[in-house]
Copies of this chain bind each other. A is one copy, B any other.
Amino acid sequence: MLDAMGASSLEDLLRDIPAELRLGRLDLPEGLSEFETLQRIRALAGRNRVYEDRLTFRGAGVYRHFLPASVAAVMSKPQFATAYTPYQPEASQGTLQAIFEYQTAIAELTALDVANASLYDGATALAEAAVMAMSHTGRQRIAVAPYVHPEYLQVLRCYADGRGFDIVELDESMAIGPETAAVAFQQPDLLGSMIEPAGLVEAAHGQGALAIACVDPISLGMITPPGEYDADIAVGDGQQLGLPPSFGGPHLGFIACRTSLTRRLPGRLVGQAWDGKGRRGFVITLTAREQHIRREKATSNICTNHSLCALGAAVYLSYVGPDGLCRVAEAGYRNAHILQSRLTALAGVEAIRSERPFFSEFAVKVPDPVAVLERLDRAGILGGLPLGRWYPDLDRALLFCCTEVNDDDAIDQVVEVMSQS
Chain A residues within 8 Å of B, Cβ to Cβ: 33-35, 38-39, 53-54, 66, 68-69, 405
Contact = CB atoms under 8 A, between A and B. Distances in A.
A405 B68 CA distance: 34
Nearest to A38: B69
Task: Report the copy number of this chain in the oligomer.
Answer: 2
B405 A66 contact: no
A34 B405 CA distance: 12
Residue with the greatest number of chain B CB neighbours at <10 A, chosen from A33, A39, A54? A39
A363 to B, nearest CB: 27
Contacts of A35: 53, 66, 405
A68 B33 CA distance: 10
Nearest to A404: B35
What are the 5 closest A-B residue pairs judged by CB atoms, nearest first?
A: A35-B66, A34-B68, A34-B69, A35-B405, A33-B66
A38 B54 CA distance: 13
A39 to B, nearest CB: 8
Nearest to A33: B66
Nearest to A319: B34
Nearest to A65: B35
A39 B404 CA distance: 14
Interface of A is mostly: helix
A261 to B, nearest CB: 38
A326 to B, nearest CB: 15
Contacts of A39: 53-54
Nearest to A68: B34
Contacts of A53: 35, 39
Contacts of A33: 66
A69 B37 CA distance: 12
Contacts of A34: 66, 68-69
A34 B53 CA distance: 14
Nearest to A35: B66
A299 B66 CA distance: 50
Contacts of A68: 34
A45 to B, nearest CB: 14
Nearest to A37: B69
Nearest to A54: B39
A39 B52 CA distance: 10
A291 B347 CA distance: 75
Given A33-B66, A38-B69, A39-B53, 4 more contacts: A34-B68, A34-B69, A35-B66, A39-B54
A324 to B, nearest CB: 10
A405 B39 CA distance: 11
Residue with the greatest number of chain B CB neighbours at <10 A, chosen from A35, A38, A53, A69? A35
10 contacts: A33-B66, A34-B66, A34-B68, A34-B69, A35-B53, A35-B66, A35-B405, A38-B69, A39-B53, A39-B54
A9 B35 CA distance: 58
A34 B39 CA distance: 30
Contacts of A66: 33-35
A33 B319 CA distance: 12
A38 to B, nearest CB: 8
A318 to B, nearest CB: 15
A322 to B, nearest CB: 17
A33 B39 CA distance: 33
Contacts of A69: 34, 38
Contacts of A54: 39
A95 to B, nearest CB: 18
A358 B12 CA distance: 51
A327 to B, nearest CB: 10
Nearest to A69: B34
A35 B52 CA distance: 12
A411 to B, nearest CB: 16
A69 B35 CA distance: 9
A39 B67 CA distance: 12
Contacts of A405: 35
A401 B135 CA distance: 70
A189 to B, nearest CB: 28
